[in-house]
Structures are given as C-alpha cells and as structure tokens.
Structure 1
Amino acid sequence: MFNPSRDQARRFLAEAWKKRRDKLPASPLEMIAADIVAMHPEYHVLLEAGEAALAREWTPEDGEANPFLHLSLHLAIEEQLSIDQPPGIRAAFDRRVARRGDRHAALHDALECLGETLWRAQHERRPLDGLAYVECIRRRG
C-alpha cells in the first residue's frame, strides 16, 4: 500500500504539476494528480514556489485550508471512484454529478463527506465507516 510521508505527498503533487507544465512524461497517477491541480489555479503559485512552500504549515487557527490536504483528498476520491471502493461510491457520486451539473462541485461535496467521515473515525477511534461515507454523498445538499 502506498503510504507516503507528508513531505513525499507534497513533493509528489508539486512534481506531477511540474511534469504537466513542462510537458514531460508522467505516470498515470501523476497525470490524475496534475488534472486535479489544474482544477485549482489558486494553488499553482504555491506548487511552483519550491521547498519553502512545501514546508509551510497550515493550522485551523490560520483560517486557511491546507491546499496539500485538499489536493490529496481529491486524489483519494478519484482513486475510490476508479475502483468503486467503498462499494456504491461511484453510483452515489454519479448521481451527485447529475444533480450538481458540475463534476468539480460534486467532488467538493464528496471531499466534505470524506473529511467528516475521517474526522468521525479519528474522534471515535473507529475504522472509517464506508457506508456512512457513501450515504453522506447520496444525501449531500
């Protein structure tokens, strides 16, 4: 299982974006990551800024969302959709896209559900509840 450190995950996103910008060959996962970054022009400068940006901390007290966490959650959702895991996520997401009329907006709905589900699992010290996660996507908004 791929379990990168924080720095490895951040560097992966920056390198995937650099490959896209420089029109270099990329792995399938790097191409997906670059597609996600392309949807977020507000993060381009950060990903192009080098090591200092990669080392920056974001805390709730700062009032800013962590862009690397945001992009990583997007990447996790894309992988979940590609393998329909947890079961039913693809169908729930497709319905969300149809309702929203915008895939990126639907991804942000799923991202909110994933964040809530992860928080609940950590808070309750339990495994991630895949059924609750999929149900959240179904009923969102």
Structure 2
Amino acid sequence: MFAPSQHDVRLFFCEAHRKHRAQAPLTPLEALAADWIAEHPEYHDDLADPDAAVAASYTVEEGRTNPFLHLAMHLSISEQVSIDQPRGIKQAYELLARKLGSAHEAQHEIMECLGEMIWKSQRSGLPPDGEAYIDCVRRRATR
C-alpha cells in the first residue's frame, strides 16, 4: 500500500507545480495534480517554496485551508470517480456536477461528504462507511 508522509505529499505537489510552470514532462499523476493546482491559484505561493511548504502548519485557528489536504482530496476523489470506487461514486458525482454546472464545485461538495465519512470512522474506530458516503453525495445531488 502506498502511504506517503506529509512531507512526501507536500513535496509532490510542489514538484508538480514547478514542473508544470517549467513546462517539463509530468507523470500522469503529476499532470492530474497540476490540473487541480491550476484551478486553485490561491495556493500557488504555498507551492512555490518547497522548504516553507514542508515547514508550514495549517491550523483551524489560522483560518486557512490546508492547500495540500485540499489538493490531495481532489486527487482522491478524481481517482474514486475514475474507477467508480466506492461503487456508485461516479454516477453520484456526475449527477452532482450536472446539478451544479461545475465538476470543480461538485468535487468541493464531495469533499464535505468524504471528510464527514473519515471523521466518523476515526471517531467510532470502525472502517469508513462507503455507502453512507455515496448517500451523502446523492443527497447533495438531489436536494
């Protein structure tokens, strides 16, 4: 199983951003990351300095979104949708994107459901509930 450290994740996004700006060849995962980075220009300064990125702390008290967590969630959701895992996420995502008129905004809505599922799993000590996750996305697509 691939389990990168926080350091690894931050450097991955910084490197994908650097390579994209330099028009250097990207791996498929870096290309996907670069697409999401392009959608978030507010994170470009954070990604431009790898040393600062590794050292940064993003706390709730600061009132800032952790750009690396946010981008990693975009990648996770993109992967889930591409392989329809958990089963039904692709259809729920497509419904939500159609409703909102934006794939990007659909992902942001799905992030809320994904975060809730992870929080509940951590709090209960039980495995993540994929069906509840899909139900959350479907509710957002149909309300």
In the alignment, which residue of structure 1 is the partner of 2:51?
A: 51
User: Which whole-Å CA distance do the structure 2 matches of 1:76 and 1:50 have between them?
Assistant: 22
Q: Point out where structure 1 has 5 or more consecutive residues left out of the alignment.
A: none
Per-residue deviation, 1:37 = 0.5
Matches within 5 A, 1:93-132: 93-132=93-132
In the alignment, which residue of structure 2 is the partner of 1:61?
A: 61
C-alpha RMSD of the superposition: 1.0
Matches within 5 A, 1:1-141: 1-140=1-140
Q: Point out where structure 2 has 5 or more consecutive residues left out of the alignment.
A: none
User: Which whole-Å CA distance do the structure 2 matches of 1:54 and 1:21 have between them?
Assistant: 20
The Cα offsets for residues 95-116 of structure 1, whole Å up to 9 and x where unpaired, read as 0011000111101001111111
The Cα offsets for residues 24-83 of structure 1, whole Å up to 9 and x where unpaired, read as 111111100111111000001110023023210111222222111111111110111111
User: The residue matched to 1:87 in structure 2 has which SS?
Assistant: coil
**TM-score relative to the length of structure 1:** 0.96
**TM-score relative to the length of structure 2:** 0.95
Q: Find runs of 4+ consecutive structure 1 residues off by over 2 angstroms.
A: none
* Count of aligned pairs between the two proteins: 141
**Identity percentage of aligned residues:** 49
